[in-house]
Structure 1
C-alpha cells in the first residue's frame, strides 16, 4: 500500500494558504516520513458563497508542484485533481510536461471534468461542453507529449502541424481520472492509468455531480469491473485506485492505531493501491508532527 499526503486546504474566506506550513518543508517532511506521493487540488476561482459554506482555497497545482519537485528527490507529485476543461489542452499538456521534466519524471496527472458552475462561468468555459472538452484533452495529451508533429481539430481550436517540446520523462505521464460515473469508469478502463473515486454519503456525491459510491463493498465491485473492462480492451497493466481515508481520530496518528491498520488492510483488500491522507492545518509544527508520527506508525 502506498500513501499520498494531501497538503491541507484552507477553508473559508478569512484565511490564506500555507497555514499548514511552508510547502517545501512539508513536502520534504512527507518524503522523509516515507510517503509515496504529495498532492494538491485546484480551485482557480471559487465563489465566496461556496467558501463561506465550507469550501476551500488552493494553490495553482502545477506551479506549486514544480516548487515541491525542487525540495524533494523521489516524492511523486499528484494533481488531485486538476479540472481538465478549465484549460486549453495544449496549455495543460505543456504545464504537465514541464513539471514532469523538471522533476525527473515524477508527475501523476489527476484529472476531472469539474462540477462547480461558478468557476466555469468565471473562466468562460461552457459547463455543458465539459465531457466533449475532456475527451479532447485525452486525445491531445499523448500527441503533445510525443514530441512529434500532429494536427487536431477541436471544438474551439484548430492545431495544424504543431510540435511541442520538451517531451516529458514519462511517456506517457500517468493519468488518473476522478469521478464515479459509468463514463468516467469507461475512460479509465480504456485510457487512464488510475482511478480516483469518491466514496461517501449521497449528498457528497450530489455536491460534486457524480454517481454515489456509499460503501467499500460497492467500490470493490466497481474496481473489479474497471479492471476487467481494461483487460477486455487489451490492456495488461494494473490500474491504480486511490482512496481518501478520512477519520477524525487520525489527527493523532498513534491513537487507535490498530483500528486504523485494520481499516487500511480492508481497503487494500478491496483493490485500492494508494491511500490519501491529510492532517489538521492548525500550525506548521502540528503538520510536521503528524507526518513524522504517521510515517513511523503506518509506513516504516
Structure 2
C-alpha cells in the first residue's frame, strides 16, 4: 500500500512548504484540492514540483466537466515536465449543485447526464492533447481542428499521465468508465438510495470494496487491460500518534485490495489547518 496526504487548506505557500516535508516524512504522494474560484491547484503543484524529487503530485480531485480540456492538458503537461513525470490526475463529474451550491455561483448545473458526457469526451480528448502532435477531433461537445504550428511539448509519462476516476458502485456505467483508466476513487450508492456522500461514508465497508475490486479486475481482464497498472484508493483519517489504532483502521482496506491510503481530515477548522497539517505530515503515513 502507498500513502498520500491531501492538504485541505487554501494557502498555496503552506502547500509548497508541506510537499517537501511530506516527501521527507515517507509519504508517496501529495494532493491539493481543486475548487471553483479558489487557489489554483496546478500553479501550486508546479511550485511543489520544484522543491521535491520523489513524491507524486496531484489534485483530489479535478471536476473535469467544469474545465476546458486543452487548458487542463497544458497545466498537467507543464507540471508533469517540471516534476519529471510525477503527476497523477484524479477526475470526477464535480459536486452536484444540490450538495454544494457554492461551486455553482457562476453557472447552472447542467445535470449529471451532461456532466458525464463531458467527462467521457474530455478524457478521450486529453490523450492526443498530451502527445503534443497534430490531430483532429470531432465530438458532441468539443472539436479540434488539425494544426501543425505552435505544438506544445509532450508529457513525460508513458503511455499517459495516470488518470484516477470517481466511480459509483454498483452503477455499471460509472464503473465501466473507471475500468478503462488507471485507478478507482470510490463512491458508493447503497441499493435503493441516491448518491449521498454522508450515507456513503456510513455504509461503505472493506467487504463492499473487495466486491467492487473483484468486478474491476474481471472487467479489465475481459478488456485486455489486466497487465496494466491499476490503483484502488481509499480516503480516511488516522491519528499519526497511535500506530496500533491507525493500523487497525487501515489494515482492513489493504486486505480488501486497496493500493493507496489517502490521508485527509476535512473537518479541521481553517485556523488550525496549518498546525494540523504540519504535525500530521511530519508524523508520516500509517504503517502496519
Matches within 5 A, 1:226-245: 226-235=216-225, 236-245=227-236
In the alignment, is residue 259 of structure 1 matched against residue 242 of structure 2? Answer: no
Q: Structure 1 287/120 Cα, relative in aligned 2: closer, same or farther at 3 Å?
A: closer
Gaps of 5+ in 1: 10-16, 46-57
Matches within 5 A, 1:1-300: 1-9=1-9, 17-18=10-11, 22-45=14-37, 59-117=39-97, 118=101, 119-120=103-104, 122-123=106-107, 126-127=110-111, 128-162=113-147, 164-171=151-158, 172-180=160-168, 181-190=171-180, 192-198=181-187, 205-207=195-197, 214-235=204-225, 236-247=227-238, 250=239, 253-255=240-242, 257-278=243-264, 280=268, 282=272, 284-295=274-285, 298=287
Q: CA deviation at 1:162?
A: 3.5
Q: Would you say the 8 A contact 2:190–2:200 is kept in 1?
A: no
Q: CA deviation at 1:115?
A: 2.5
Q: Secondary structure at the match of 1:39?
A: strand
Between the aligned partners of 1:207 and 1:165, the Cα distance in structure 2 is 39
Which stretch shows the higher mean deviation, 194-203 or 63-72? Answer: 194-203
1:164-196 residue CA offsets vs partner (Å, 9 max, x unmatched):
421010120100001314222101212x11111
1:30-78 residue CA offsets vs partner (Å, 9 max, x unmatched):
1110100001122214xxxxxxxxxxxx532211111211121111012
Gaps of 5+ in 2: none
Between the aligned partners of 2:104 and 2:284, the Cα distance in structure 1 is 37
Q: Secondary structure at the match of 1:129?
A: helix
Q: CA deviation at 1:123?
A: 4.2
Q: Would you say the 8 A contact 2:63–2:93 is kept in 1?
A: yes
Q: Would you say the 8 A contact 1:227–1:239 is kept in 2?
A: no
Q: CA deviation at 1:212?
A: 9.1
Q: Would you say the 8 A contact 1:152–1:160 is kept in 2?
A: yes
Q: Structure 1 65/243 Cα, relative in aligned 2: closer, same or farther at 3 Å?
A: same
Q: CA deviation at 1:27?
A: 1.1
Q: CA deviation at 1:136?
A: 0.7
Q: CA deviation at 1:104?
A: 0.8
Q: Secondary structure at the match of 2:88?
A: strand
1:122-168 residue CA offsets vs partner (Å, 9 max, x unmatched):
24663341111111112111111122211111334331113642101
Q: Secondary structure at the match of 1:122?
A: coil
Q: CA deviation at 1:6?
A: 0.4
Q: Structure 1 108/215 Cα, relative in aligned 2: closer, same or farther at 3 Å?
A: same
Between the aligned partners of 2:275 and 2:131, the Cα distance in structure 1 is 43
Q: Structure 1 204/26 Cα, relative in aligned 2: closer, same or farther at 3 Å?
A: farther
Q: Would you say the 8 A contact 2:29–2:55 is kept in 1?
A: yes
Between the aligned partners of 1:259 and 1:64, the Cα distance in structure 2 is 33
Between the aligned partners of 2:31 and 2:234, the Cα distance in structure 1 is 13
Scaled by the length of structure 2, the TM-score of the pair is: 0.84
